[in-house]
Amino acid sequence: MNHLIPAIKVSNFSFYYDNRKILEDISIDINQNTITAIVGPGSSGKSMFLKSLNRMMEPEERVKIEGRVEFFGQNIYERRVNLNRVRRQISMVLPKPNLFPMSVYDNVAYGIKLVGWRPKVELDEIIESAIKRAYLWDELKNKLRKSALELSSGQQQRLCIARALAVNPRVLLMDEPCFALDPIASRKIEDLIQNLSSTYTIVISSHNMQQVSRISDFIACFEKSEDQIGRLVEFDSTSKVMSREYVRIK
Ligand SMILES: Nc1ncnc2c1ncn2[C@@H]1O[C@H](COP(=O)(O)OP(=O)(O)OP(=O)(O)O)[C@@H](O)[C@H]1O
């Protein structure tokens, strides 16, 4: 892969919760328009790491951080950073669809309205475009006023992706996006993620190595050592990590 440009550059990042060290000394470049998969055993800090990339875990009394997370050169943990802007540009999708009990349309509109008022015509256009980018338009164009909770789990998760896309992010963080889905719905999400990577930078956490080998360009392997601290132990292109994995399994 030529001309890799880091969208997010993490340097010597450590994360503490209630004075307990959860992640230690993570350094990694998340390259623009690539899919980076975070893998590792349970409780190795994958979710905390993802949430650290858009400052969802805000440093306060219980949360402390060390090191830097730079988004196109700007440290997002600097005080003067506009947090709403960071979270808009680095958008997150959670493991289980977290839609509100409102219509399909209103769910996607929700995030846009938080950002500011827009005329109805413009809102309609943004919502249509986001649903199209999530490859859901054909399925949902006649159901925009129906409750989002009536959709299948796979459709709900893709609608969450549409909602994340509607605010025009540059990076999509996806924490086990296929967690609650059957294999067919999972494959649709995988296809969608691959298509989106030409426009967006994507970071996904997953327990499913087959899925990771199918869709990612880079793999970051986290481990939890005896001291219960999560560390990055390997980061390389997917082909290299998978070939080493193959040798280990053999
Ligand atoms: N809300 C929380 N409060 C306190 N500690 C937490 C919280 N969420 C996670 N932790 C702790 O942080 C550590 C890392 O958890 P995290 O959820 O990031 O791991 P993970 O690798 O994503 O796990 P899994 O694969 O099981 O989802 C664990 O030791 C966990 O107990």
Query: Residue 185 is part of a domain; what is its CATH number?
Result: 3.40.50.300
- Domain assignment present for 176: yes
Q: Give the model's confidence band at 1: pLDDT under 50 very low, under 70 low, under 90 confident, else very high.
A: low
Count CB neighbours of 151 within 10 A: 21
Atom of ligand 1 nearest to the CA of 44: 21
Average pLDDT over residues 100-109: 96
pLDDT computed for residue 2 by the predictor? 63
Which residue has its alpha carbon closest to ligand 1 atom 30?
Answer: 43
| Domain assignment of residue 38, given as a range | 6-249
Q: Of 43, 53, 205, 206, which is best to mutate to test ligand 1, by the most ligand atoms within 8 angstroms of its C-beta?
A: 43
Q: How far apart are CA 128 and CA 132, in angstroms?
A: 6
Which residue has its alpha carbon closest to ligand 1 atom 1?
Answer: 17
Q: What does the block give as tokens for 124?
A: 């309609």
Tokens 């892969």 belong to residue: 1
Report how far ligand 1's centroid is from the alpha carbon of 48 (Å): 6
- Domain assignment present for 156: yes
Count CB neighbours of 110 within 10 A: 15
- Domain assignment present for 1: no
Atom of ligand 1 nearest to the CA of 50: 18
Tokens 């409780």 belong to residue: 43
| pLDDT more than 70, % of the chain | 97
pLDDT computed for residue 249 by the predictor? 53
Which residue has its alpha carbon closest to ligand 1 atom 20?
Answer: 43
Q: How far apart are CA 173 and CA 185, in angstroms?
A: 19
Report how far ligand 1's centroid is from the alpha carbon of 45 (Å): 6
Alpha carbon 24 to its chain's center: 21
Report how far ligand 1's centroid is from the alpha carbon of 44 (Å): 7
pLDDT computed for residue 111 by the predictor? 83
- Domain assignment present for 152: yes
Which residue has its alpha carbon closest to ligand 1 atom 24?
Answer: 42
Average pLDDT over residues 114-128: 88
Q: How far apart are CA 29 and CA 1, in angstroms?
A: 14
- Domain assignment present for 215: yes
- Domain assignment present for 119: yes
Answer yes or no: is pLDDT of 95 > 60. yes
3-state secondary structure of 167: coil
Average pLDDT over residues 117-129: 91
Judge whether 27 and 13 are in contact, CB under 8 Å.
yes
- The secondary structure of residue 190, as a DSSP letter, is H
Judge whether 41 and 61 are in contact, CB under 8 Å.
no
Answer yes or no: is pLDDT of 108 > 80. yes
Please provide the average confidence, as pLDDT, over all residues in the chain.
92
Judge whether 222 and 49 are in contact, CB under 8 Å.
yes
Q: Give the model's confidence band at 61: pLDDT under 50 very low, under 70 low, under 90 confident, else very high.
A: confident
Angle at 137 between CA 56 and CA 149, to 5 degrees: 60
Answer yes or no: is pLDDT of 250 > 60. no
Which H or E run includes 52?
helix 46-52
Side-chain-facing half-sphere of 201: CA atoms under 13 Å: 18
User: Any residues with Cβ below 6 Å from ligand 1, and which?
Assistant: 17, 22, 40, 42-48
Report how far ligand 1's centroid is from the alpha carbon of 250 (Å): 31
- Domain assignment present for 206: yes
The domain total for the chain is 1
Tokens 């306060």 belong to residue: 60
- Domain assignment present for 33: yes
